Structure 1
């Protein structure tokens, strides 16, 4: 993941591997991810999808961010540190605290690894801005198109998606919680995207049938950066 943002030297790769020495932790879907902000704890997502968000008193839920394999979840020092964090699917994570602390300490500004980490964290903040704009200004059709493109972009960067096909282990209810929609509205929106031959949605595997048309449907200003890598 880091190497997709900037070149990472062999010595940096060795340092990264040595940082993750603890045994992996496996949790079932629905389990809360234990993070201790007092220890500046961080975890690397090895497998599965993780949500960050909040539960309202009436039972409604808003998911504000998703962590995918290759992402690092930090207990403190992030804009969403106080949100609930839980597994959407079965997950495997590993302690990344040593790695996080090493990159948080002062070091060579020109380090390739630090530059990759800086761009990685910038991308996280950009996704938060995109989510705010999605919820605040886009309609349901635009929100859905934009989210699917963003998830595809992230998986292409990691090398786990291509050709318009992405892994999407999210139910319509979870998509609705991300996009601030009712379950009924979410279902109707996906049906419309299917009728327009833009998306073939199935929980587990989704085909973006027309990337150009979907990009036009997303209607997001270029001020938030490109949604797809140039190679796509």
Structure 2
């Protein structure tokens, strides 16, 4: 529960009983999934709230001809869908990017948690608001930024999200995304993605090596991507997180 707690505490000083209530979510069954397995398909009905504990996942949509668009990344501390209700159908699919584990939480458990701890309900609402803001930023990324700017923006977002959850240090973090994944997330071909990645390296901005992302020049990268971290709601530690 540490990534979730770290993210929530960017905005709220949780009391000991509130922290304990969130920690109790770890009692929900832990489900392990191998890398590259599709866990949820479009049209599936959900019965539990999934809280990612370890590993990465991604949301995607497929076209009938096989083309895929990654429409979101799920990192430790993220909920697959916080507002699951009986009969809800998936409007997209979710696959494991790496081997992962998630807690399968009954919706009524979260309903009870929110009713008993209103400040936790507020914190979770803020958490979901950030997810919506990330989705809107991805739309802007695909619609208006060029490939170089898109990739730079994606790397900065991943880095800051992980650092905000306590999962990155200095200017580096895990990044198991392959070039095909990055192409599917930025809406370009693999060939174009490869050229763009090489250009980022030549400019001394970013390096992706052994599934690690190294941000070599944050300020220049942010300028190129026209990156404004406000949508991530980094809270009181924003300045520390972006340097």
Aligned-residue RMSD, C-alpha: 2.5
For the pair 1:189 / 2:201, whether they are aligned, the reply is no
Alignment of 1:79-94 (within 5 A): 81-94=90-103
Structure 2 CA distance for aligned equivalents of residues 183 and 5 of structure 1: 38
Q: CA deviation at 1:12?
A: 1.3
Correspondence for 1:170: 177
- TM-score by structure 1 length? 0.88
Structure 2 CA distance for aligned equivalents of residues 33 and 225 of structure 1: 26
8 Å CA contact 1:170, 1:203 repeated in 2: no
Q: The residue matched to 1:201 in structure 2 has which SS?
A: strand
- TM-score by structure 2 length? 0.84
Superposed CA offset, 1:6-33 (max 9, x none): 2222111221222332331111112122
- Unaligned ranges ≥5, structure 2: 1-6
8 Å CA contact 1:28, 1:90 repeated in 2: yes
8 Å CA contact 1:44, 1:70 repeated in 2: yes
Alignment of 1:127-142 (within 5 A): 127-142=134-149
Correspondence for 1:62: 69
Q: Which moved further from structure 2: 195-204 or 175-184?
A: 195-204
CA separation of 1:114 and 1:169: change in aligned 2, threshold 3 A: same
Across the two proteins, how many residue pairs are aligned to each other? 227
Given candidates 139, 154, 160, the residue that maps to 1:147 is 154
- Unaligned ranges ≥5, structure 1: none
Correspondence for 2:79: 72
CA separation of 1:129 and 1:203: change in aligned 2, threshold 3 A: farther
Structure 1 CA distance for aligned equivalents of residues 10 and 39 of structure 2: 26
Structure 1 CA distance for aligned equivalents of residues 167 and 84 of structure 2: 29
Given candidates 14, 20, 29, the residue that maps to 2:35 is 29
